[in-house]
Amino acid sequence: MEEYKRLFIAVKVNIKPALEKYISSLQELFEGSKIKWVQTENMHLTLKFLGKTHIDKVTKISIELSEIAENNEPFDLRIQGSGVFKDFFKPRILWVGVRDHKPFEKLKNDIENTMAELDFPIDYNRFKPHLTIARIKQINKRDEFEKFVLSYEHLLFQMVKVEEIILYESILKPEGPTYVELEKFKIGKSGSGFVTERF
């Protein structure tokens, strides 16, 4: 029996037409570049990457996430603006931004602090919530790419109602990762986790 799973905690984002159009436009304009596009059904906002986790810890993780979800309230996020990591001279990640993210930041901090008690290291990197659209190895027409992305720098793509957090398993495959929803936790006092796959 498999004793470890590669886990992370996230909020699922269902993509709406404005963002779909932005992504499809980029795919058409920069066809031929070496870009790995994230499948829209896999898009999420990561709260905590747990990594290789022994299955004996999963029940404790679920109990803690259920309590965290209950002690927070549902909230809205704006998916707005677009940009890249590292920079436009050598772009590696294409993202769209997240605004009004203070409730999201609180949720992340609650998870970070609680998971630290279960021996998961705290992530001290500067928090910049974002939705990864693509991973870039090589881009054709770099100047045109920069101009196109920056033209959407402040555009509001969609709103996201955050009403649950999800414990995912990431299964690595040659064609890319598959994300399996293991358990969902409704946010708010009336919320409770419900198992979508049993260990």
Confidence of residue 42 (pLDDT cuts 50, 70, 90): confident
Nearest-angstrom CA–CA distance, 90 and 10:
28
Confidence of residue 177 (pLDDT cuts 50, 70, 90): confident
pLDDT at 62: 97
Tens digit of pLDDT for each residue in 44-55? 999 999 999 999
For residue 14, what are the domain limits? 4-195
Query: Could you say which of 54, 101, 130, 154 is catalytic?
Result: 130
Q: Token match 């555009």: residue?
A: 155
- CA-nearest of 55, 66, 86 to 188 is 66
135 pLDDT exceeds 80? yes
What CATH number does the domain containing 170 carry?
3.90.1140.10
- CA-nearest of 148, 154, 137, 55 to 96 is 154
Tokens of residue 129, six digits:
């919530």
pTM for the model stands at: 0.88
Does 31 or 193 have the greater pLDDT score?
31
pLDDT at 49: 95
Report the DSSP pairing between strands 4-12 and 44-54: antiparallel
Query: Could you say which of 44, 54, 101, 154 is catalytic?
Result: 44
Confidence of residue 198 (pLDDT cuts 50, 70, 90): very low
Total domains in the fold of the chain: 1
What residues contact residue 29 under an 8 Å CB cut-off, 6+ apart?
A: 141, 144, 145, 148
58 pLDDT exceeds 90? yes
Nearest-angstrom CA–CA distance, 131 and 80:
10
Please indicate whether residue 44 is annotated as part of the active site. Answer: yes
Contact call for residues 47 and 168 (beta carbons, < 8 A): no
Structure-derived torsion over alpha carbons of residues 108, 114, 117, 119, reported in degrees to the nearest 10: -40
pLDDT at 197: 47
The mean per-residue pLDDT over the stretch 112-134 comes to 91
The mean per-residue pLDDT over the stretch 132-148 comes to 93
Please indicate whether residue 130 is annotated as part of the active site. Answer: yes
pLDDT at 124: 82
